[in-house]
Structure 1
Amino acid sequence: MKALNVYEENALYDTSGKIWHWITPKTLEGIDWETITTIQTPELNKIQKPYLARYLTAFRAAWKARNCDLVVTHGEPMAIWTGIFMRLLNVKARHLAWSFTMPEYDGYGMQRKLLLRFGMKNVDQLVMFSEIETRTYPPLLGVDASRFRMIPWSADGTNADKSAEPLIEGEYIAAIGGEGRDYGTLFKAMAMIPERKLAVVASPASIKGLEVPENVTVFSNIPFGDAMNIAANAQFLVLPLLSETIPCGHGSIVSQFYLEKATIVTASQAMNGYAIAEENVLE
């Protein structure tokens, strides 16, 4: 069996060009995996508008998939574009869209929505990390609900070295993550308590256009280990989401469980199954 692992580089952390092989080293013998990623085209990866590396990676994956049995894409954009090229090339390989989430769907224009429907039409299985997504996405994408499955976010740990020296001196609060975050409200709150410090690890897109108070420090594109160092040494963590239905923050909340850190979380349906009243939540 031949399978492809397809993804684009994370804008939140500095991967230093290291290719992420997902679960491929741990799968059953007899599966021949190949990873295709935007990291393999570093020069194109610097061009964000249009994001040529994404489109080329998706096309390469679809072309390779002509002789494969399974394609696994990670995230919404790679699922869409790989799906589009697979349809255009009439590729018959099965397509698993892993970690599929659309936190900004309401802001999509008609053209983007049509591309979504075209690209996702033949996807065999879509996996996301919250129950609410399995209910809201089928009518939006025009895909049968039986193809959607919720699997709780899982991780082997945070790889945080708790014995390492803190990267930030003194006491501070931390917020980690980029998608679906309401950093605008959090920054306004921090401006009201200038005696407190906040460290934020976020993608540039998630803080674009925001006024950052003097007591807030923002880190982008740093090594994952540094992000976990910031989280591990904070007094507590904050997970501000844009709305009660935004399907984001699952990776962050699971990491915070591992770190055994108290966390202020937006009351969100997406946290059902993660934040459980009278078990790990004070309301």
Structure 2
Amino acid sequence: MCPPRILSDIRISQSPTWRREVVCLHDLRAVPPESSLTVARSTVSSVRDLFHIVRLSRGFDVIVTSDIRTGHLFALVRRLFRLRRPKHIILELMLDEERDDALWRLKRYLQRLVFSTVDVSFVSSTREVIAYAKRFGIDANRFRFLPFHTNVTEPRIVGHSEGYILSAGMTGRDYATLCAAARGMRQRFVVVSDRASGRGLEFPENVDVLYDVPYSKYLGLLENCRFVVVPLKKLVKSTGQVAVLEAMALGKPVVATESTGTLDYIESGINGLLVPVGDHLQLRRAIEALLEQPDLHRTLATNALESVRQHHTFEAYTNRIIQTAKEILGRPS
């Protein structure tokens, strides 16, 4: 049986399997490569991608969309024209928090119409499967948990340290709780984020804050830290898993908030430590435990790296997508 013909708007060059089995929209001559885009340009780019996907779709069995706008638009086209082929998979679906106003209710109604046509929507946590199925009134089997991948292409233990604790990221971060936990400690912390995430906060003297640093500088800070803290707010959507997996892939133990974005990636006491949302005392105790117990530090680092190697590489990620494509086409994987 012939392998499925898959077209996607995302290039995952780190995966040999993806390069071999998936046609990237932006590798076709008709579609120019992406550039740095403003919000307005992003919308234009999504519409342009939709045009090419629709034009090319008859030559493919499955369309995989990563850009959320493109995914919405293609699903809408399928709804309006009652299309069942090609199949449609959405990657890394992440929706906003629920609100109780007329505009949000209209948005939810439109999303229900759109997502009713999508064959599989991948999400980055098991909690999102339940939450999104309930929000849209759609069978939970149409939402599937796809463990996220690390962006570190060569997972390894980086043993050296300059002594500081690193906390990085923007979406859903709870730096107020980190500040409360760090205040009065003799330990140095480095926070890497954007100004919006730090607005209104008074960071203690032992916390250095760096805004909008290049990714390469962030990676250098990650490689040289003692371990990583990922403080998160309670949200419906998953956040924090990117920072968690990058740290784990470099053998850096992680202390994180027990939340939608961490429960599927960290087994507390095994490959990291989880603390309750907004509890600065528990966060401080977990930080102190890692500082004072080198055996715990070493065990968590080793297990974290093994978790990434087994479950969170680009190959593991893309293989699950391709297996799902075969499944919804009724082909053996």
Q: Give the TM-score band, short-chain normalised.
A: 0.7 to 0.9
Q: Which moved more, 1:128-137 or 1:114-123?
A: 114-123
- Give the corresponding residue for 1:176: 168
Indicate if the aligned counterparts of 1:24 and 1:33 stay in contact, CA closer than 8 A.
no
Unaligned runs of 5+ in 2: 275-333
Give the letter aligned to residue 153 of structure 1: F
Q: CA 1:155–1:235 in 2, change beyond 3 Å: closer, same or farther?
A: closer
- Give the corresponding residue for 1:62: 50
Q: CA 1:38–1:76 in 2, change beyond 3 Å: closer, same or farther?
A: farther
Q: CA 1:38–1:86 in 2, change beyond 3 Å: closer, same or farther?
A: farther
Asked if 1:52 corresponds to 2:56, the answer is no
Give the letter aligned to residue 34 of structure 2: Q
Distance in 1 between the 2:15 and 2:255 partners?
35
Query: Cα offset for 1:140?
Result: 0.8
Distance in 2 between the 1:22 and 1:220 partners?
26
SS at match of 2:242: helix
Indicate if the aligned counterparts of 1:21 and 1:35 stay in contact, CA closer than 8 A.
no
Query: Which of the pair is proportionally richer in helix?
Result: 2
**CA distances 1:210-265 after superposition (whole Å, capped 9, x unpaired):** 43526331232512x32222112112211111028652222222222222222211
Indicate the percent of aligned positions where both proteins have the same amino acid: 19
Indicate if the aligned counterparts of 1:74 and 1:99 stay in contact, CA closer than 8 A.
yes
Question: How many positions carry a matched residue from both structures?
Answer: 256
Query: Cα offset for 1:266?
Result: 0.8
Q: Which runs of 4+ in 1 moved over 6 A?
A: 36-39, 160-163
Query: Cα offset for 1:31?
Result: 4.4
SS at match of 2:107: helix
Asked if 1:95 corresponds to 2:88, the answer is yes
- Give the corresponding residue for 2:217: 226
- Give the corresponding residue for 2:136: 141
Query: Cα offset for 1:99?
Result: 1.3
Q: CA 1:38–1:119 in 2, change beyond 3 Å: closer, same or farther?
A: farther
Distance in 2 between the 1:125 and 1:183 partners?
34
Asked if 1:157 corresponds to 2:152, the answer is yes
For the aligned residue pairs, the C-alpha RMSD in angstroms reads 3.6
Distance in 2 between the 1:143 and 1:88 partners?
18
Q: Which moved more, 1:69-78 or 1:146-155?
A: 69-78
Alignment equivalent of 1:3, drawn from 1, 7, 10:
7
SS at match of 2:217: helix
Distance in 1 between the 2:32 and 2:125 partners?
27
Instruction: Give matches, 1:229-248, under 5 Å.
Output: 229-243=220-234, 247-248=238-239
Distance in 1 between the 2:46 and 2:148 partners?
25
Give the letter aligned to residue 147 of structure 1: R
- Give the corresponding residue for 1:83: 75
Distance in 2 between the 1:252 and 1:98 partners?
19
Indicate if the aligned counterparts of 1:160 and 1:229 stay in contact, CA closer than 8 A.
no
Distance in 2 between the 1:3 and 1:25 partners?
16
Query: Cα offset for 1:161?
Result: 9.7
- Give the corresponding residue for 1:11: none
Distance in 2 between the 1:194 and 1:134 partners?
39
**CA distances 1:9-36 after superposition (whole Å, capped 9, x unpaired):** xxxxxxxxxxx54567533756432238
Length-normalised TM-score, structure 1: 0.72
Q: CA 1:118–1:221 in 2, change beyond 3 Å: closer, same or farther?
A: farther
